[in-house]
A = this chain, B = another copy of it.
Amino acid sequence: MIKISVSPADFSAGEEIQKIAALGGGAVASFTGQVRGDGELVALELEHYPAMTEQALQSIAEEAAAQWPLHGITVIHRVGRLAVNDQIVLVCTGSDHRQAAISACSFIMDKLKTVAPFWKKEIWQDGSESWVEERQSDLDAAADWKKRT
């Protein structure tokens, strides 16, 4: 059971975990990302490629489902303007096995960071804006899964 959501709306990590837990697997892992207050940062502007985003997330979730025995996968990613401390992303996975749940959650985040069409623009207190650059550590993390699987 895969649930993908891309929208400006906020989400409740607790409710999403409960929904996955209700599938009865016994093991639920989650990752929540939020806007980190980096010095003078006021907000992030999350842009995406609407025609592609949901199917890209769906593909990542299906790849995880093919690799681990999962009862449920939820991926929620917000778009639009997000203030410091706002939630950005939630990945939640349910399984009979804790390592499957945790590994799948970690895999989905690593892939999402490198192949899902989102772009972050930082908006600073002085009014300036800057596009976030890709990070080598994210590329390395995603590449590591290829070696492992």
Contact = CB atoms under 8 A, between A and B. Distances in A.
A17 interface: yes
Q: How many of these chains are in the complex?
A: 2
Contacts of A17: 13-14, 30, 32
A29 B28 contact: no
A31 B98 contact: yes
A92 B22 CA distance: 19
A102 interface: yes
Interface of A is mostly: mixed
Contacts of A34: 21, 26-28
A96 B137 CA distance: 13
A25 interface: yes
Contact of A105 (B22, B27, B102): B102
A56 interface: no
Contacts of A37: 24
Interface of A: 12-15, 17-18, 21-22, 24-37, 85, 87, 96, 98-99, 101-102, 105-106, 109, 137, 141
